[in-house]
Amino acid sequence: MSLIEESIAKTCDRQDTTPSSPGKMKAMKHEHYGSLEDIELREIDKPVPGNHEVLIRVEAAGLHIGDCFSVRGEPRLMRVETGFLRPKTGIPGFDVAGVVEAVGTKVSRFCPGDEVFGTTQGACAEYATAPEDTLALKPGNLTFEQAATVPTSGLAALHALRDVAGVQAGQTVLINGASGGVGTFAIQLAKSFGAKVTGVCSGRNLELVQSIGADHVIDYTSRDFTREETSYEVILDNKENRSLADCRKALTSDGTLILNSGTGARGLAMMIRLFKPLILSPFTKQNLRRYLSVANHADLTFLKDSIEAGKIIPVIDRIYPLAETTAALEYIEKGHARGKVAVTLQPGK
């Protein structure tokens, strides 16, 4: 769809689309912050879209470590988004793919029946609402399960490499945590920008990381990328399992290091880990960065176009039925998923 076409607001009959009575739906719900096992399959009210929102009949949800944080309420910083004392929705699932069921009165991009993907709060349910700005039309060549795994991880990789680092063709880029959710998108995006890409992963994932385009791979169980001769113009560190000083040794003198984790520590240790690179950065030629990836329609559409052009394909590790959301989150929390984990609302379809 061209920009001109897209800028013309879609004219669907909104009067018919706003449900008069919300009805009920099944959802994986937790009332309080705490254990992943507190999430239960329950029947609750279907959400009602606000003026700028759409109601999505969920086909699949994509999960990542942020969903585990949102159920546990830890790290506490997460509660800025999910509610301070109690969870606002209490339904995991920040990433969604499904079919638009109804649209709010001010929605201009989507109509009922459109297949969409994007971010929400509460995708592990039969229905979810989302602002139209955090959605885009689903890539036509993906299943709903594949599409649901793209938004948060794909955008995190895109924002790091394109916006923070400004990766250019021919640059050398190292991705630490190359076999994970963000890493598998980052390898493919960096390649699509023309970079020479090195992926750091364990031996069991070397073939996978090569198969999605890495020019070089480093098995972290036998080699340490911070102690080798080679230095890189851009490092995206999804693991932060090396000290800042060690990572800087693997960076060119004016290279960009993007730190994308910071979650292994707690309290003061976490604050030091989060802010030390940002305080140091103005005093060195190296660019030491953190960033927060925020979903938007234009960048989701960028990912859709890249997927349809064959430049990126989501790597899916496991797909769980809705009732097994807790098992999916427990698997993610172990930290060894190969690519992405999804929850399907249509098992066996």
Ligand X SMILES: NC(=O)c1ccc[n+]([C@@H]2O[C@H](COP(=O)([O-])OP(=O)(O)OC[C@H]3O[C@@H](n4cnc5c(N)ncnc54)[C@H](OP(=O)(O)O)[C@@H]3O)[C@@H](O)[C@H]2O)c1
- Which positions lie near ligand X, rule CB under 6 A? 64-65, 152-153, 156, 176-177, 179-183, 200-202, 204-205, 220, 238-239, 241, 260-261, 263, 291-293, 332, 335-338
- Look at residues 265, 299, 267, 44 and name the one whose alpha carbon lies nearest to residue 161: 299
* Minimum CB–partner distance for residue 205 and ligand X (Å): 5
* Separation of alpha carbons 5 and 282, rounded Å: 43
* Separation of alpha carbons 270 and 206, rounded Å: 31
* Minimum CB–partner distance for residue 73 and ligand X (Å): 15
Output 27 or 217, the one with its CB closest to ligand X. Answer: 217
| Residue closest to ligand X, measured at CB | 180
* Minimum CB–partner distance for residue 256 and ligand X (Å): 14
- Tokens 């969604």 appear where? 96
Output 241 or 252, the one with its CB closest to ligand X. Answer: 241
Output 177 or 255, the one with its CB closest to ligand X. Answer: 177
List, in sequence order, the alpha helices (H) in the chain: 3-7, 14-17, 65-72, 79-82, 144-148, 151-158, 181-192, 206-211, 244-249, 267-280, 297-308, 325-333
Q: Structure tokens of 90? A: 């209490």
Amino acid at 238: N
Output 171 or 261, the one with its CB closest to ligand X. Answer: 261
Contact between 136 and 301 under an 8 Å Cβ cutoff? The reply is yes
* Minimum CB–partner distance for residue 334 and ligand X (Å): 8
* Separation of alpha carbons 332 and 328, rounded Å: 6
157 Cβ contact partners less than 8 Å away, ≥ 6 residues apart: 182, 183, 185, 186, 189, 236
* Minimum CB–partner distance for residue 261 and ligand X (Å): 4
Q: Structure tokens of 257? A: 């290091």
Output 70 or 286, the one with its CB closest to ligand X. Answer: 70
Output 140 or 166, the one with its CB closest to ligand X. Answer: 166
Contact between 68 and 332 under an 8 Å Cβ cutoff? The reply is yes
Q: Is 162 helix (H, G, I), strand (E, B) or coil?
A: helix
* Minimum CB–partner distance for residue 74 and ligand X (Å): 13
Output 53 or 240, the one with its CB closest to ligand X. Answer: 240
- Number of C-beta neighbours around residue 246 at 10 A: 13
* Minimum CB–partner distance for residue 22 and ligand X (Å): 31
* Minimum CB–partner distance for residue 4 and ligand X (Å): 31
Output 34 or 262, the one with its CB closest to ligand X. Answer: 262
